[in-house]
Amino acid sequence: MDNKLLDILACPLCKSPLVYDKVAQELICKIDRLAFPVRDGIPVMLEDEARKLTSEDIDKL
């Protein structure tokens, strides 16, 4: 994930910064506890496509 792109991307729901999980290929919003997938290098910033995170998932970050 390009750092410049990561700097300008924000959660589409709460507008908070995102954390990139390179292994899982996901952009994480800690506030909303959502993981947005990155497919073929393209972030999919749709709420319906996001995975809900557990407290354990958040603690691992």
Domain of 26, in residue numbers: 3-60
Q: How many domains does the chain have?
A: 1
pTM: 0.90
* pLDDT, tens digit (0-9, with 9 covering 90-100), for 31-46: 999 999 999 999 999 9
* pLDDT, tens digit (0-9, with 9 covering 90-100), for 12-29: 999 999 999 999 999 999
**CATH of residue 23:** 2.20.25.10
Q: Which residues contact 39 (CB under 8 A, 6 or more apart)?
A: 25
Q: Which residues contact 6 (CB under 8 A, 6 or more apart)?
A: 18, 20, 27
